[in-house]
Structure 1
Amino acid sequence: MKIAVVGAWHVHTMEYSTAILNNPKAELCCLWDDNEERGKATAEKLGVPFQPDLDAIWNDPTIEGVSITTATYQHKEVLLAAAAHKKNIFTEKVLTFTNEDAQEVAKAIKDSGVKFTVSFPHKTWPTLKAAKELVDSGKLGQITYARVHNYHNGSVAPMPDGSLGWLPPHFYDASQTGGGAMMDLGAHPMYTLHWFLGEPKSIVSQFTKVTGRAVEDNAVSVIEFENGTIGVSETGFVTNGIPYVMEMQGTKGGLMVHNDTLEYTCEETGNKLVQMTDLPEKSTMPIDAWIDACCGIGEAPNGIDDAVALTKFMVGAYESYNTGKKYVF
């Protein structure tokens, strides 16, 4: 299938585009970006033509799909156009800034019948797949507390020119991103908590600006779920320490994921903390699974309802922070 890249704004543009290039079922035919200099430079790196006219992509019947890595504020317009022109859609998260826009996009995508996937790569991890199976088995009892910690050093890593941080400046422009660390890197804890715990009831957020940039670079949201379960979403761009930790505590046991290691305790382990060694295989990455689905193989993962749910979590998180109050869903 022929796929066009729509947008070179996001830091994952090269990753997704390279995956398309490496997939034997796909052909990366061109790249568009609203910044011609950036678009041409990215297209040259990929060895594909730069297409300055977005309408030419929409109106080309040979292009079956698009990989969307524009600025987040452009998502609604681009997603609606893609759906209207029957292009299968792979998109970077988050879907949109508002619940209303998310619902409008969802309706358009469902009406169009196109294959849709949002990039939730952590759901492919062997550790998280095993953790989900363990939680769903009931061996840990009712989950009462969950914490997902996901950080990197994108704002503090020393760079060759003496500056700090490898994230591009536009990642700190709220008009383009809709927020800072929670909107970007915090998406992973949010969709993971939704995957494990279901729908939220309320949320409270605390964000800070460690490096003094325009958006938060250090963030925590505490979420109330059904049955009294508490979920904590932790994220930031300001640590060189431990990048990933997940905890699940239940009435009969608990688990901890630390980077690539899963440990758990419950009745079958004699209530001792043991490492799980028989982890499942890593799942196909979302973009490759989407390409498979477009070619009639399997289902497209992380569908539009999952994308809408993530927007709901983010709207609540930022509304709580901006008002200083608990947000009730």
Structure 2
Amino acid sequence: MPNPLKIATLSFWHVHAGDYSRQAQEHPGTELVAVWDDDEARGKAGAESFGVEYTSDLDALLASDVDGVVITTGTDVHRDIMVKAARAGKHIFTEKVLAPTVAEAEEIIAATDDNGVKLTVSLPRLAHGYTQAIREVLDSGRLGQVTYARVRLSHDGAIARDGNAEGWLPQRFFDERAAIGGALTDLGCHPVYLTQLFLGAEAETVSATYRSIAGRGLEDNAVVVVGYPNQTIGVIEAGFASPNPFTIEIFGTDGTLTYSDAGNVLKVGDEELPVPGHSLDPFGQWVEHIVNGTRADENISRALELTRLVVAANEAATTNQVVAYNR
């Protein structure tokens, strides 16, 4: 690529803003050129850490020759900022979830399509080697009819320790207005889209239980149960209050599959299977879509269904009722 794509990071609200900014610096096809943030101190600190310009004027930035933007704002402003960026012709790489509601997610997707903008949502575990290996096992039929799947992902970011009075996760992650939801809406996105990958997106019912171990304002401990028309059950677990290994369990009429990132061990029954390396990460996929003029069809579809299930889970937890998964 003769000229790297010029990329701007929009906000250091999210804890992964630095990770994606680093990718923009390190990818041979992109160049990080600017940071915008509605919090001047936070934005200037982020820009300084990467040696690029900070601006408080989003409209001016979107009117510049920037090619694409990384969206790491609060979830509540995703729709407004992404639609504005799309109308300015800027390609969009965004942190999950895509939007607080399905309607807003659909509006974002429509705006990117209408303006020829390439959209990719960060769903990194779809590209991980264990995911590929698990899909191959499921496709082979070795487990028989799948009856149950459980995916758990958690860390201890909400828990005070090592002299940190609140934990390493910023308090803004527990702001109901900006974050929309706690552990399930943030970290739980990964178990959600993996469960949908393994069991399908066409669920029937969703129930949820949320609890707050640390008492910081939103749930830091969440379990979601998804019921399917074929009677399969999916269990999604997420937390900010315990540093458990990432775990996948899938049960079928003829066998059991387990995966743990403690040792990167994948087993079907007692047989340990090789785990391949990761494929191209979402940021790299985004760059390829821009360069090749292609649309991230599967990524966008899965991001929309992810939003749909998270919205249903939050409703189920709030109402303490089983809710229909409406497509």
Give the structure-2-normalised TM-score. 0.94
Contact 2:171/2:216, CA 8 A, preserved across alignment: no
| DSSP 3-state at the match of 1:31 | strand
| CA distance, structure 2, for counterparts of residue 93 and residue 13 of structure 1 | 12
Q: Is contact 1:190-1:233 (8 Å) kept?
A: yes
Flag structure 2 segments of 5+ consecutive residues without an equivalent. Answer: none
Q: After superposition, give the CA deviation of every residue in 1:181-222 in whole Å (9 maximum; x if it has no partner).
A: 001000000011111111221100001011112100000000
Report whether the alignment pairs 1:132 with 2:135.
Answer: yes
Counterpart-to-counterpart distance in 1, 2:126 and 2:297: 10
Gaps of 5+ in 1: 266-272
Query: Cα–Cα, structure 1 residues 299 and 106, in superposed 2: closer, same or farther, change >3 Å?
Result: closer
Match of 2:17 among 13, 16, 41: 13
TM-score, scaled relative to structure 1:
0.93
Q: Partners of 1:186 and 1:8 in 2: how far apart?
A: 21
Match of 2:82?
A: 79
SS at match of 1:184: coil
Are the equivalent residues in 1 in contact too, given 2:118–2:294 (CA < 8 A)? no
Q: Quote the Cα distance in structure 2 between the aligned partners of 1:104 and 1:292.
A: 24
Question: Is the contact between residue 36 and residue 58 of structure 2 (CA under 8 Å) also seen in structure 1?
Answer: yes
Q: 2:284 aligns with which of 254, 263, 288?
A: 288
Contact 1:106–1:305 (Cα < 8 Å) also in 2: no
Question: Whole-Å Cα distance in 1 between the matches of residues 256 and 293 of structure 2?
Answer: 36
Match of 1:270 in 2: none
Moved more, 215-224 or 297-306: 297-306
**1:138 offset after TM fit, Å?**
1.7
Give the counterpart letter for 2:76 in structure 1. Y
Residue by residue over 1:1-48, the C-alpha shift from the partner in whole angstroms, topping out at 9 and shown as x without a partner, is 111111110000000000110011101110100001100000000111
1:191 is matched by which residue type in structure 2? Answer: Y
CA contact (8 A) 1:289 1:301 kept: no
Aligned equivalents of 2:98, 2:188: Cα separation in 1: 14
Instruction: Work out the CA distance in 1 between the residues paired with 2:322 and 2:308.
Output: 14
Secondary structure of 1:50's counterpart equals strand
CA contact (8 A) 1:117 1:302 kept: no
1:56 equivalent in structure 2: 60
Q: How many residues end up aligned between the 2 structures? A: 318
Corresponding residue for 1:115? 118
What's the Cα RMSD here? 1.5
What aligned pairs does 1:1-329 form with structure 2 within 5 A after superposition?
1-60=5-64, 62-156=65-159, 158-160=161-163, 162-198=164-200, 199-240=202-243, 242-259=244-261, 260-265=264-269, 273-277=270-274, 279-296=275-292, 300=296, 303-329=299-325
Q: For 1:76 and 1:20, how far apart are their aligned partners in 2?
A: 22
**2:230 match: secondary structure:** helix
CA–CA distance in structure 2, aligned partners of residues 295 and 222 of structure 1 = 40
Report the residue type matching 1:286 in the other structure: P
Give the Cα separation in 1 of the matches to 2:36 and 2:309. 30
Question: What per-residue deviation string (whole Å, max 9, x for no partner) do you get for residues 106-134 of structure 1?
Answer: 22222222211100111122112100111
- In 2, Cα distance between the equivalents of 1:179 and 1:296? 36
Q: CA deviation at 1:285?
A: 1.4
Cα 1:309–1:122 shift into 2, 3 Å = same
Q: Aligned AA for 1:261?
A: V
Q: Secondary structure at the match of 2:204?
A: strand
* Contact kept in structure 1, 2:43 and 2:54, CA below 8 Å: yes
- Rounded to whole Å, the distance in 2 between the matches of 1:300 and 1:104 is 16
Identical aligned residues as a percent: 40
